[in-house]
Amino acid sequence: MNLFDVYPLLDITPVKGEGCYIWDENGTKYLDLYGGHAVISVGHSHPHYISRLTDQLNQIGFYSNSVQIPQQKELAEKLGQLSGYPDYQLFLVNSGAEANENALKLASFVTGRKKIIGFKKGFHGRTSAVVAVTDNPKIIAPVNETPNAIILPFNDLELLEEKLKTNEIAGVIIEGIQGIGGIHVPAEGFLVQAENLCKQYGAMLILDEIQSGYGRSGKFFAHQYSGVEPDIITVAKGMGNGFPVGGLLIAPEIKPWHGMLGTTFGGNYLACAASLAVLEIMESEKLIENAEKVGSYLIEKLKQISGIKEVRGLGLMIGLELDQQINDIRHVLLKKHHIFTGVSGTNTIRLLSPLTLTKEQADVFIEALIETILE
């Protein structure tokens, strides 16, 4: 059987990882500034992560959500404490799209309404409802087309109010920082006003922190720079450091009923062990503080490089918009300097390194980038 060939692959086969580095099958060492698409939060193959997972596997690997799983409660408590949302309720799933899909369903259940607002350049996943509120017609199949999805220009409060005034909107979904769209931080005041408008017109404010959450922005959640308190926050990616896990943090006012949401694999023992290990490492190694510190340093340094049109982002979620073709630059960074980076569109390099990145590693990238741009 062949693989269903949907990914344009790099010709690299990673076989080992440690911290911010990965090695390919020929023993070449790479600096990973992409984190496997914002997933590696506490570094590759962290010893505590490995022992948490193997210990759990030695105890019990799986049972369904029909029994008590104390690790879920432990995770909810730790996540509530570290994220600053101790009163929220946690629902565990397996991926980002699944988290958002459940968030939209929840908003619809709670409000009794059908319509969801998303924004231009937003990305929320590839399953049915969330792809419909994603701004990319290329990935929306006919079955996903729905009049219930409305895409508005990002940061446009006037249009947002106009739509909310119809009292038909169940929820408004916003990325903490737009990731795939090119690293766009919401404009000053946008989230606060969006929160006020959602409250005024009875819609749920959903913050998609799947890429921007878990410390990547230099705060636990990127929206915490604005001081808003969403009704629902969705998480995945960095939450499991590679183990597939996602979740919804749900405001205390939203009351569940049995059967409202459900999943077979969500919240399994291994997912909880991986997620707990991530939080424990983030706390003990002060990784959010590190992301803020090293991220600010890197952003400042990048702003001084001529040839970069714009540097956007917060913490270690950084976009570099260039005038030139970034695919060539990315290729040289990978093949000559052995540095992994990501892309958004045709002109933005996207950095999503593990939160363990050091200033020295940031300097290695800066030197390599200057050399590559000059070439």
Ligand X SMILES: Cc1ncc(COP(=O)(O)O)c(C=O)c1O
State the residues that interact with ligand X by CB under 6 A. Answer: 95-97, 100, 123-125, 175, 179-180, 208, 210-211, 236
| Least distance between ligand X and beta carbon 248 (Å) | 12
Q: Looking at beta carbons only, is 36 or 43 nearer to ligand X?
A: 36
The least distance separating ligand X from the CB of residue 38, rounded to whole angstroms, comes to 7
Q: Which is nearer to ligand X, 127 or 148 (CB)?
A: 127
Q: Between 21 and 123, whose beta carbon lies closer to ligand X?
A: 123
Nearest Cα to Cα of residue 61 among 274, 242, 263, 259: 274
| Cα angle 74-272-47, degrees, rounded to a multiple of 5 | 105
Q: How far is the CB of 95 from ligand X (least distance, A)?
A: 4
Q: What is the distance of C-alpha 320 from the center of its chain?
A: 18
Residue among 72 and 95 whose Cβ is closer to ligand X: 95
Q: For the CB of residue 190, give the shortest distance to ligand X in the complex, in Å.
A: 17
Closest approach of Cβ 125 to ligand X, in Å?
4
Considering beta carbons, is residue 42 or 368 the nearer one to ligand X? 42
Token representation of residue 28: 């070449």
CA distance 116 to 346: 29
* Residues in the chain, overall count: 375
Return the number of the residue (45 or 136) whose C-beta is nearest ligand X. Answer: 136
Is 356 in contact with 24 (CB distance < 8 Å)? no
Q: Which is nearer to ligand X, 223 or 338 (CB)?
A: 223
Q: How far apart are CA 95 and CA 74, in angstroms?
A: 20
Q: How far is the CB of 158 from ligand X (least distance, A)?
A: 25
Name the β-bridge partners of 117. Answer: 150, 172
Tokens of 61: 């690997």
- Phi, psi (rounded to 5 degrees) for 57: -65, -30
To the nearest whole angstrom, how small is the minimum distance from the Cβ of residue 202 to ligand X? 25
Q: Which one-letter amino acid corresponds to residue 275?
A: S
Do the Cβ atoms of 215 and 291 come closer than 8 Å? Answer: yes
Burial of 31 per CB tally in 10 Å (0-12, 13-18, 19+): buried
- The residue of the chain with the least Cβ separation from ligand X equals 96
Listing DSSP states for 172-241 in one string gives: EEEESSBTTTT-BPPPTTHHHHHHHHHHHHT-EEEEE-TTTTTTTTSSSSGGGGTT---SEEEE-GGGTT
Q: Which is nearer to ligand X, 96 or 215 (CB)?
A: 96
Give min distance, CB of 237 to ligand X, in A.
6
